[in-house]
Amino acid sequence: MIVLVGAVWEICRCIYSSLFYRKTEERGTQTNEEEQQIYTSLLKALPVEENEPVKILQASVKKGKTKSNRSSLAAKKRGISKHSMAQPDELNLVPGGAEGNLEECDNFYAAHFPPLQKEELDRKTKSGSSTKATSFKQISVTNTSKWMAANMDKTQRETTVGEMKKILEELEDKWGDDTKKDKTNVYRTLRHHLSKCTNPYTLVAYIVEKSKDYHLPKTSTLAYCIMKEFDNWCSSKENIHKYSQFLLTQDLKLHVLHMCTRYHMTMIGLAIKAFQLDHPENSFLVPVLRCFLEKHKFKEAAVCAGKLGLQDHFSVEEIVLPLILQDKVNLIETFLMGNPGQQLLVVQMLDRLCDRSVDMAAIIGSSGVQNVKREKMHWKPLSKLAARLMKLYDISPDLCPNISNARGLGAVKYLLYKRYIEGSMGAGSWEEMVQSAVGDSAFLKEQLIEQLMCYNETTAAAKWADHYELSDECIPPVVAEHRKSLKENPGLTTENIDGEDWDADCYTDGDIKTSWYPLKISQDAITMVNTKESYSACLQRLSRPGTTIGIDSEWKPGFGNTVQRLALMQLAVLDHIYLLDIIYLSQHLQEDDWQQFVACVFCNPAILKLGYGLDSDFQMFVKMFPFLKENLSHMCRVVELEKVAQKVIDKTVNLLPETGQSDEEDAPLEDCDSGVNIKFPKKEARGLSELVRQTLGRPLSKTEQMSNWERRPLRPAQITYAALDAHVLLEVYDELIRQAQKLKMNFDMEPPVSMKWMKASKRDKMKAKAKGQKFPYKNKSPKTTQYTSPHPRGAGPSHHMSPGQLKVVVDSMLQGLGRQLRSCGVDVYILENHEDHDRTIEICRMQNRIVLTSGNPYIMVRSHVGEHMCYCVQSVTAREQVIEVMEHFGVKVKTEDIFSRCQVCNGDQYLKIPQKQTRQLWFRKQQQSSVTGSRVQMLMNIANPSSMSEADMLCMKDLASYGVNWTNVSVATNGAPIHIETVPEGILEKVDLFYVCQKCGKVFWEGSHFTKVKEQFAHVLTLGE
């Protein structure tokens, strides 16, 4: 007894000494007298009769000593202290991580990242010496025995390198199992070890680095999949490790960064999230990125700096300029992500490079960058890049004068081409756009004069020089002399000088009437809606039941970085045209007024809406009024004329007579009826103008298309153009209907309109990414509470129906659901991959089927067939979708319903043919197939012991009673060939009864596995019980 007490005392003394020095090392202070008194009381309460606690203490002491010695040895081995671990000068910061053999790598994991025991982590998570979980101050004398038993019986061991090797081998064995393509078992095993491991971060780093395919830059490797699964594991709230702040040391993060950039950059994004490398206090990673720059690995430096948020530690000349010189501009956006300050600096640097006085050769030479793409170091590609970044990052053009001038000059050249080469712009609209493009820039004013001289337009150049009041020193001498002669002879006009009238359009009124399609309504029937009173009158007229409305919109073309906004919306009925002044109405109408407008016009099923190119119109409308997006998703009876025209008019149709002209771009087409030569630009071949030409005989004039639609008041030519664009839609639609009836074409003349405008644009996604924001790239399915349709035909949970009573059509996205429903006996039409949603709506109307779809297509389909004829499926897997549909429609499935329909053609009528007759059909099919051979001939003789003719007659009469045509082996009612050849010969002797689909001739039979297959639908059979 005395010896045992002495041993216990000695062990407790050792524990006290260990705690004493540990607390001294962590806090730098010695234990106080109060802790000594508690420790003495603890020893008195220790049950010395029991040996188990003593054994546990011994094991813990040995373990602690081993760990202490190991940590000390590792520290000596590295030659650094724990306070200097993160100093870059004392680490081998070579991109790609520490190189060495496998033994050194194992020592690296064992020495640098030993997994901490749970009790040590619990102690570290508590801040301060007086609040630690193992502090003696928190232990009462009466509960010391329980405390000792609860805290000292923790024998959870560390995960050693040897154990990590075994885990890796287990994962590699399961990964390499070629018999199982599904790798779910690998992920399940990994998650099991992660939940049991004391330091999952070290374990994953080891597995990834030691994987055999770690060096391969593919997403199908074990290393990548382990990292991806670990990232998913960490993203779960229940798996967020409460000790991560202590486990994720700087040393571990540095090693992971090396590991993920050693051979490739495939895993860097996942590693940054899983190992929290983008923590705000991650500046200790900067030396690693500088090593990349020293080795001219600019791609790696840009990607890492952008994803880690370390852009401010580098100048734009260090990373961005080399990327520009090597034409790797796509990486610039990655580097600038979420850093507005650097975004501005980069654009300003590009602005400096666009200065034509810059010596580009000197910049290339001083950069020291290799493989420079010199053809890209020109002001034109640089200005395009800068303009794109300015628009992406919403940077004011005033901050980048060189780029603004370059883009403005491009706009001026484009407008001159449209005016003097294409001849597609009227003088009034061209003058407005030139003034808008030039603005107040002195540089562009001078460039306009020079560009006009390139077209030999001296008079126009002189007039513009006088308009901008340019001095003679700023313009060419010939222009100055011409302007002087105009001032000396004020009676001379531009028409007197060169025969051109500045205020005239390209064509005279007579030419316009004979060449272009005119507006067949008086100007008095055109109303400019710019007051609340005119708005109310317009709404009252448009909302009349049975009205057909032509819809079009106009906005000012954008040059450079100007923001475009909707300026005008045209709404035309047969006897009147309303031009909505959106700019004025947006400032004077309330949100409720606009909601009323959408409800009365676009969501009104009593009126038909026609448009051409409606996607862009709705995009601009929603951009102007974002709060209307939800309401517009419910619009109905909106027709895109382009879809109708594709079905009615063949692309080769040309209503104008053949001219015999060549195919050259500038060759005019002669209208023999009018005798006027007209140019039809190729780019308009598929536009509204060409459609009007094909249906109504003459094209539309597009001279006012590029106009300043924000100017008020609008010019008469603009008003006529806008009114005609909307009103002509009514005439085109009537003509398309007439042609369809003439050709006896049977199709839906109100096809569904595209809802692509509801999706976020590519630019919106890029802007969200530039700001470092997450964007929902995948449109999730609408919520059930918002889009679930009512139970059709009185069906519902309280009124059960049989599967055969439910008739549905599923789109190509839900083919799996369709097959499952058909297996349960539901009448299902499944769309093929090449069939679109127009076909869905057509089948819904023709066959009275309910549409099953999901996501945005549901919104479009619902607008055409109504809520009572469509349903939005919410579930993801086919199994869950079947349950959802059955419960929604109140379908009660019985055992006899399973496989009651043909899985091929959806037929529900079968011919029941016994074994003997089925054998006769099988042999008959073999005979028809001209199959020769002794075995087949022998079987034929056995089946037909008598003469062949008599046997044929007997078989024909026998099979006729089963609804089978013996002559050609087909279904007697519809001639569908019976696919008896698909039945294996051995099955003919085993099965007594065969089923033949009367619709397609597919042969079925109940095999030995039929009962097991039916068990797969147990989840459906139990519904409603």
Residue 75 has pLDDT above 70, yes or no: no
pTM of the shown model: 0.58
Residue 788 has pLDDT above 60, yes or no: no
Which residue do the tokens 């090597």 mark?
326
Residue 268 has pLDDT above 90, yes or no: yes
Give the 3-state secondary structure of 604-632: CCCCEEEECCHHHHHHHHHHHCHHHHHHH
Which residue has better confidence, 231 or 246?
231
Range with top average pLDDT, 136-145, 386-395, 768-777, 782-791: 386-395
Half-sphere exposure (Cβ direction) of 351: Cα atoms closer than 13 Å: 20
Question: Could you give the percent of the chain with pLDDT greater than 90?
Answer: 30
Residue 102 has pLDDT above 80, yes or no: no
- Tokens describing residue 145: 């025995």
Residue 134 has pLDDT above 50, yes or no: no
Which residue do the tokens 């650097």 mark?
342
- Tokens describing residue 944: 């037909």
Residue 132 has pLDDT above 50, yes or no: no
Query: What does the pLDDT look like over 116-130, one tens digit per residue?
Result: 444 444 554 444 433
Query: What does the pLDDT look like over 833-868, one tens digit per residue?
Result: 888 888 888 889 888 999 998 877 887 788 788 888
Count helices and strands in the chain by DSSP H and E runs: 46, 17
Per-residue confidence (pLDDT) for residue 769, from 0 to 100: 67
β-sheet bridge partners, residue 570: 552, 579
List the end-to-end C-alpha distance of the chain, in Å, as a whole number.
71
**Per-residue exposure over 882-917, b if at least 16 CB sit within 10 Å of its own CB, e if not:** bbbbbebbbbebeeebbbbbbeeebbbebbebebeb
Per-residue confidence (pLDDT) for residue 655, from 0 to 100: 41
For the segment 307-313, the average pLDDT, to the nearest whole number, is 93
Per-residue confidence (pLDDT) for residue 10, from 0 to 100: 62
Per-residue confidence (pLDDT) for residue 275, from 0 to 100: 92
Which residue has better confidence, 542 or 428?
542
Query: Pick from 486, 500, 508, 410: which is nearest to 457 by CA?
Result: 500
Give the 3-state secondary structure of 4-40: HHHHHHHHHHHHHHHHHHHHHHHHCCCCCHHHHHHHH
- Tokens describing residue 447: 């460039």
Per-residue confidence (pLDDT) for residue 133, from 0 to 100: 36
Residue 99 has pLDDT above 50, yes or no: no
Which residue has better confidence, 644 or 656?
644
For the segment 207-230, the average pLDDT, to the nearest whole number, is 92
340, 369 in Cβ contact below 8 A?
Answer: no
With H, G, I as helix, E, B as strand and everything else as coil, classify residue 676: strand
Residue 97 has pLDDT above 70, yes or no: no
Residue 955 has pLDDT above 80, yes or no: no
User: Rounded distance, CA 555 to CA 103, Å?
Assistant: 70
State the angle between helix axes of 200-210 and 222-235 in degrees (0 to 180), rounded to the nearest 10.
160
Average pLDDT, the chain: 76
User: Rounded distance, CA 121 to CA 135, Å?
Assistant: 14
Which residue has better confidence, 657 or 19?
19
Residue 180 has pLDDT above 60, yes or no: yes
Which residue has better confidence, 365 or 28?
365
> Which of 105-109, 370-374, 447-451, 979-983 has the lowest average pLDDT?
105-109
Query: Pick from 456, 441, 442, 449: which is nearest to 476 by CA?
Result: 449
For the segment 1006-1024, the average pLDDT, to the nearest whole number, is 65
Per-residue confidence (pLDDT) for residue 127, from 0 to 100: 43
Per-residue confidence (pLDDT) for residue 3, from 0 to 100: 53
Residue type, 487: K
The band of 798, judged by pLDDT with boundaries at 50, 70 and 90, is: very low
Which residue has better confidence, 766 or 629?
629
Residue 41 has pLDDT above 80, yes or no: no
For the segment 6-20, the average pLDDT, to the nearest whole number, is 57
Per-residue confidence (pLDDT) for residue 927, from 0 to 100: 77
Per-residue confidence (pLDDT) for residue 136, from 0 to 100: 34
User: Rounded distance, CA 596 to CA 592, Å?
Assistant: 6
532, 589 in Cβ contact below 8 A?
Answer: yes
Question: Could you give the percent of the chain with pLDDT greater than 70?
Answer: 69
Per-residue confidence (pLDDT) for residue 116, from 0 to 100: 43
Query: What does the pLDDT look like over 707-765, one tens digit per residue?
Result: 899 999 999 999 999 999 999 999 999 999 998 888 888 777 888 787 777 776 666 66
Per-residue confidence (pLDDT) for residue 775, from 0 to 100: 52
**Could you give phi then psi for residue 997, rounded to 5 degrees?**
-65, 125
Per-residue confidence (pLDDT) for residue 661, from 0 to 100: 37
Residue 169 has pLDDT above 60, yes or no: yes
Which residue has better confidence, 273 or 493?
273
Residue type, 875: S
- Cβ-based neighbour number of residue 719 at 10 Å: 20
Query: What does the pLDDT look like over 197-211, one tens digit per residue?
Result: 888 898 999 999 999
User: Rounded distance, CA 324 to CA 389, Å?
Assistant: 13
Per-residue confidence (pLDDT) for residue 810, from 0 to 100: 92
Query: What does the pLDDT look like over 927-945, one tens digit per residue?
Result: 776 544 444 444 444 444 4
290: exposed, middle or buried (Cβ count in 10 Å: 0-12, 13-18, 19+): middle
Q: CA of 901: how far to CAs of 397, 682, 828, 982, in Å?
A: 67, 53, 10, 19
Per-residue confidence (pLDDT) for residue 900, from 0 to 100: 86
The band of 222, judged by pLDDT with boundaries at 50, 70 and 90, is: very high
Residue-by-residue DSSP string for 918-967: HHHHHHHHHHHTT--SHHHHHHHHHH--S-HHHHHHHHHHHHHTTTEETT
893, 1020 in Cβ contact below 8 A?
Answer: yes
Per-residue confidence (pLDDT) for residue 367, from 0 to 100: 87
Range with top average pLDDT, 449-453, 948-952, 1001-1005: 449-453
**Per-residue exposure over 940-976, b if at least 16 CB sit within 10 Å of its own CB, e if not:** beebbeeeeeebbeebeeebeeebbbbeebbbeeeeb
> Which of 288-297, 340-349, 502-511 has the lowest average pLDDT?
502-511
Per-residue confidence (pLDDT) for residue 503, from 0 to 100: 44
Residue 654 has pLDDT above 80, yes or no: no
> Which of 413-422, 448-457, 646-655, 990-999 has the lowest average pLDDT?
646-655
Per-residue confidence (pLDDT) for residue 949, from 0 to 100: 57
566: exposed, middle or buried (Cβ count in 10 Å: 0-12, 13-18, 19+): buried
The band of 46, judged by pLDDT with boundaries at 50, 70 and 90, is: very low
Per-residue confidence (pLDDT) for residue 304, from 0 to 100: 94
Per-residue confidence (pLDDT) for residue 866, from 0 to 100: 81
**Omega before residue 713 within 30° of 0, cis:** yes
